[in-house]
Amino acid sequence: MASSDDDSAVLVLADGTLLRGTACGARGTAIGEVVFNTGMTGYQEVMTDPSYEGQLVTFTYPELGNTGVNDQDQEADRPHVRGLIARQLSPRPSSWRSEETLERWLQRHGVVGIRGVDTRALVRHLRDGGAINGAISSDGTAPAVLLEQVRSAPSMDGLNLAAKVSTRHPYRWSRLCPADFDARLQPQPERPYRVVAIDFGIKRAILERLVAHGCDVTVLPADASLEDVLSQQPEGVFLSNGPGDPAVVTTGIALARALLQQRDLPLFGICLGHQILGLALGARTFKLGYGHRGLNHPCGSPGEVEITSQNHGFAIDGASLPEAVVKVTHLNLNDRTVAALTMREQPVFGVQYHPEASPGPHDADHHFGRFAALMAARR
């Protein structure tokens, strides 16, 4: 793709690193936490996943846009990434599902991007030094000014972004992923299970998998009270994924703690929801150096390994979990962090990774089946 001087862009990191490239998407300046995703596919799902709120995402795969974008792969109504960092963008998508080029989609949604940078060198830098605040700019702002703005931007530590991305009003979800595109088993009970999902930044693919496993889902805001939840007469409660620091999602932690007192009510948490469960049980969370974001993270229990899709920058401190009450069932086999937990005496469990796998492998879809089985046993 040809470029001119007017297409120049810069990436400035808080440690003073300056990378120059070519602008893509919308023109402007975007400031956020610079992270990387190692997936070879799923760029549209990543950029619309609310868990990426406030972040500038570096894609390690060398070319984006090969398959274009389409309405079905949206995880939310709009992109949630603050900026895009890529080696190269394909100008001509090739897919029967494509409805628009990635470049046009980025422009239409106001996502600022930079391409033509050495993403491999950038990822090595982030792995060595950790995720760091940065700025992408294509509007002519001087690098020195950008560096000052980046250094004054808030850290992801202490940010409650779940409140920002959550729905404002309750709604019901009944849509399935089109059967001709997702051939996974879709068992249905005689009567749907009444499930309340707490939206801390929920992905549509998770809602679709809950429906596929026989759930009638009502989605409530992140600040829902115990009374709000119980008024729906749920047979199970789901705590969703989401962005930011889990330790400051105080209303969600308080709700989870109250729900744990409903001792026979099945609870299931994914990603941020898993961390909130851990916090409600008395554990601590901590920020990972550069997080887990990709589609090939191995997680295991004795004698079993799942290749998983992941997207998180925080984790539960396993040593802080009450061992008499909670069992760690899965570990991330790369760094031995907590990947899943279950309560010993209650129908409560959480997984740090994404069993809906949008995108990613389907190894972990059985966790939705487990949630359904707990609700069936309660009936």
Residue 157 included in any domain: no
- 125 counts as catalytic: no
- Boundary residue ending a domain (133, 152, 171): 152
Cα angle 243, 54, 108 (rounded to 5 degrees) comes to 115
Which listed residue (274, 297, 354, 367) is catalytic? 354
57-90 as b/e: b if 16+ CB within 10 A:
bbbbbeebbbbbbbeebbbbeebbbbbbbbbbbb
Could you please report the per-residue DSSP string of 112-129?
EEEESS-HHHHHHHHHHH
- Distance of CA 125 to CAs 46, 67, 157, 293, Å? 22, 29, 20, 16
Structural domain of 238: 162-378
Q: How many domains does the chain fold into?
A: 2
- 306 counts as catalytic: no
Which listed residue (177, 271, 299, 367) is catalytic? 271
- Boundary residue ending a domain (134, 152, 170): 152
Is the domain of 97 the same as that of 166?
no
Give CA–CA dist 91/108, Å, rounded.
16
Q: According to the model, what pLDDT value does residue 188 have?
A: 81
- The band of 296, judged by pLDDT with boundaries at 50, 70 and 90, is very high
- Boundary residue ending a domain (83, 117, 152): 152
User: pTM value?
Assistant: 0.95
Q: Give residue 88's Cα distance to chain centre.
A: 24
Is the domain of 81 the same as that of 148?
yes
Is the domain of 70 the same as that of 124?
yes
Q: Which domain CATH number covers 223?
A: 3.40.50.880
Does 222 score more than 50 pLDDT? Answer: yes
- Distance of CA 133 to CAs 13, 146, 272, 353, Å? 6, 11, 21, 24
Give CA–CA dist 292/300, Å, rounded.
15
Is the domain of 210 the same as that of 139?
no
Nearest to 292 by CA among 340, 339, 234: 339
Which listed residue (299, 330, 356, 367) is catalytic? 356
Is the domain of 60 the same as that of 208?
no
Q: What is the pLDDT of residues 52-93, one digit of tens each?
A: 999 999 999 999 999 999 999 999 999 999 999 999 999 999
Q: Is 24 helix (H, G, I), strand (E, B) or coil?
A: strand
Is the domain of 189 the same as that of 269?
yes
- 271 counts as catalytic: yes
Residue 140 included in any domain: yes
- In DSSP terms, which residues pair with 19 in a beta bridge? 11
Q: Which domain CATH number covers 52?
A: 3.50.30.20
